[in-house]
Amino acid sequence: MAEPIIFHIDVNSAFLSWEACRRIRESEDSVDLRTIPSAVGGSEEQRHGIVLAKSSPAKGFGIRTGEPLVNARRKCPGLVIVPPDFDLYVSSSRAFMNLLRQYAPSVEPFSIDEAFCDMTGTELLYGPPVEFAHRLKDMISSQLGFTVNIGISSNRFLAKTASDFEKPDKVHTLFPAEMPDKFWPLPIGDLLYAGRSTQKSFQALGIKTIGDLAHADRRLIISHMGKHGGQLWNYANGLDDSTVTVHSPANKGYGNMQTISFDVTDRDTALRFILSLSETVSARIRADKAYISTVSVSIVDNEFHHSSRQLTLPSTTNVTETIYHSACRLFDQLWDGSPIRQLGVHTARATDIAYEQYDLFHPERSEKLSKLNAAVDSIRTRYGEDSLKRACFVNSDENHMSGGLNKAKRNSREVPL
């Protein structure tokens, strides 16, 4: 049986690169944004004024993704800032994924600008994996105009880790035999999915590098940090049994995020924003006559640290209340009390087939909620989104359906996931 070969392919500074490519296509005289200090940034008036993507010259000024634009301007007064363009990102992502599907037997989009490709057994067709990765990288550059990093390994986790090594326009490997030299000497903060609070917990145990964790007693790690600590121990040892899953075009994810105009410091306020996001996400799911089986929550605190957690439901659903209560459980597991700047509710594994695990104690609850949600959708469609809202949003300044695109476009555009 052939050894697994997994590519993780990640677009370099995707939003900025895609904007630069468009400008060059429209006018050959356009300055390539990638060659000057530049950044993609949101609206500062709505507190979305953060760096979403940056050029390499901007990075040379110490500008970081996620920092406020006002800080970026202080570091580089001549910084060129361009607004985000969601339509451009969707079309560029589709072109990227379609090119990968021409060469990879299995392609799993992981986000709008990255994908896993299972290249196992393709050596006879394309030659040695590393050589083909270089050719594929160059093909993407010549045909689509932007550069990518490609990480290669025998599993998804190590491939993704490898693609995060030196950028841009690089190919890196990280096979298990290479871990002692390439992986274990890195600081524990470089381990994917090890957030700020997790890093502090590791440091309290005397774990400073990924190698320290890899050589620690797994039972000790689990006793102090629970299941998540055990999973990170697996990753530190290069263990990952997940497979590349091919999603059909209809198998989308639905999600929205909300950057909040003030720092949220209490649970009740945070849960109202989660409810608002759940309302929008579930309405989009129902509008597509879809059902989902995975829910996740993301948090960005006021120091721009990101964290997220997800769970798989026993049944598919498109019910607002089910998505909301699942998101609340995740939020309680995830939030460490830090002031919150941004919240997100996301779903995945969408399908047009509904299946449900029978509830012995509340067999009619899901059906009633589904009918209620459908009635609410009908009223909002006919009389407007604000014609019906939950009591907690009455006389409130908070939007009862928040996140994502504007109201007129929420049901018409999806990011391929």
The catalytic site residues sit at: 114
Location of structure tokens 């209340």: 321
| Residue type at 173 in one-letter notation | T
- Rounded to whole angstroms, how far apart are CA atoms 157 and 167? 18
Q: Which long-range contacts (CB under 8 A, 24 or more apart) does 243-248 make?
A: 243/118, 243/156, 244/6, 244/106, 244/107, 244/108, 244/116, 244/117, 244/118, 244/156, 245/106, 245/108, 246/106, 246/107, 246/108, 247/108, 247/109, 247/417
Tokens found for residue 7: 């590519």
- Rounded to whole angstroms, how far apart are CA atoms 279 and 290? 15
User: Side by side, which strands form the sheet with 340-348?
Assistant: 254-264, 340-348, 292-301, 306-317
Extended strands (E) in 231-328 = 254-264, 292-301, 306-317
In terms of Cα–Cα distance, which of 169, 158, 152 is closest to 117?
152
